[in-house]
Amino acid sequence: MTRPRKAHRLTPRISGQTYLWLAMLIFAASGAVTRKLTEIGAQHLIGDAYGGKLSNPISLCNVLFVGNLCALILLILIYGRQWNKANLKQLSRKDWVSLTVVAILSGALAPGLIFQALALTELNNIILVGRLEPPLTLALSVWLLRERVNIWEFIGAIAAFIGVILTIILQPPTEAMMNMGGFGLGIGEILAVAASVATAASTIIGKKHLSQIPLGIYNIFRTALGTVIFFFIALVLYGSDHFAGVLSPFLWQWMFLYGGLIVVVGQSFWVKGLKTSTVSMASLVSSFSPVVGIIAAYFILGEAPTLPQYIGGSLILVGIFLSQVGTKYKTSRTVASDKISSTPAQQEVESGMGFKGI
């Protein structure tokens, strides 16, 4: 009887922190993997059933749509038990309205904008511009929610904001740019900014109205409604033939890799890590996402950082470091409430993660 117990004690357990690091590595590489898949699809065009036109079976819309379906299946398996009568009866009409708005902003609008930006600008630009989200969320929290921030968080947010602005305005002129006030602003960068604004707004709504919403109900509802809304928006904007390749065997051949690794494994590790980690630890891990994302863009896409990206990225990294000092200082004073056990806590951590592939 003692041998099994002894063997059990000797079996190493993977810590929640390790799961978070593994998930962060997977999510950080998702942008580069997504762009690479669309490049592979462009080399294997297929004819659709509407006019014989050739189209990319691994289009960004197809990847997002199928990836969301994979995520939804996984979330139902993980959180399905929370969708019971007892939990649903506790939700008011105001809760459902807030959930719907958050689902539209962070489940449909933000990822749709990011995927469109991927088609128009360099991945490194999207990664760096996406760092606008944390300081924007912080500013809105102070303004609308009257939250207090320490000097480290404030200076870090200012540094990151300036870094994002420099990344945008120092870009060399390209065809996909708009002339605004004498500056050439890339359309892809503008879309990435809009995605950050949408996600920051959803985070603020979550902090104010979704504190009592179970994580399972929030995650499943956001993913399901976001997927449906994105599908219909794409139909209106691009036409009924835009998803013609969604049943292509070639698409699903690669989506098993994308959905299996980035969505299923990445989300599983992330959820597993969040259950046993603190906000400060998860925030620290997620802060490395832009660095890993840029490294992944180099090795997977051969996309080396440009001088504007080096300049803006350096300031953004300084801002991230200062913000982490502020987060550590704040959470050290409230250790008891530092567990990730609510929807707003998860939103706060994920706001620093950026693009997660879905």
Helix (H, G, I), strand (E, B) or coil at 250: helix
Give tens-digit pLDDT for 79-121.
Answer: 899 999 888 999 999 999 999 999 999 889 998 899 888 888 8
| pTM metric for this prediction | 0.83
Q: Is residue 94 part of a domain?
A: yes
- 79 is in which domain, residue-wise? 14-351
Is the separation of the CB atoms in 202 and 106 below 8 Å? yes
Q: Is residue 9 part of a domain?
A: no
Q: Is residue 167 part of a domain?
A: yes
Q: Is residue 310 part of a domain?
A: yes
Q: Is residue 203 part of a domain?
A: yes
Per mean pLDDT, which range of 171-185, 255-269, 304-318 is the poorest? 171-185
Q: Is residue 7 part of a domain?
A: no
Q: Is residue 356 part of a domain?
A: no
Q: Into how many domains does the chain fold? A: 1
Q: Is residue 5 part of a domain?
A: no
Give tens-digit pLDDT for 301-327.
Answer: 999 999 999 999 999 999 999 888 887
Residue 337 CA to residue 283 CA, distance in Å, equals 15
Q: Give burial (CB, 10 Å; 0-12/13-18/19+) of 178.
A: exposed
Q: Give burial (CB, 10 Å; 0-12/13-18/19+) of 331.
A: middle
Give tens-digit pLDDT for 64-87.
Answer: 888 888 888 888 988 899 999 888
Residue 175, pLDDT above cutoff 80: no
Q: What is the rounded average pLDDT of the residues 320-347?
A: 68
- pLDDT value at residue 26: 92
Give tens-digit pLDDT for 18-31.
Answer: 888 998 999 999 98
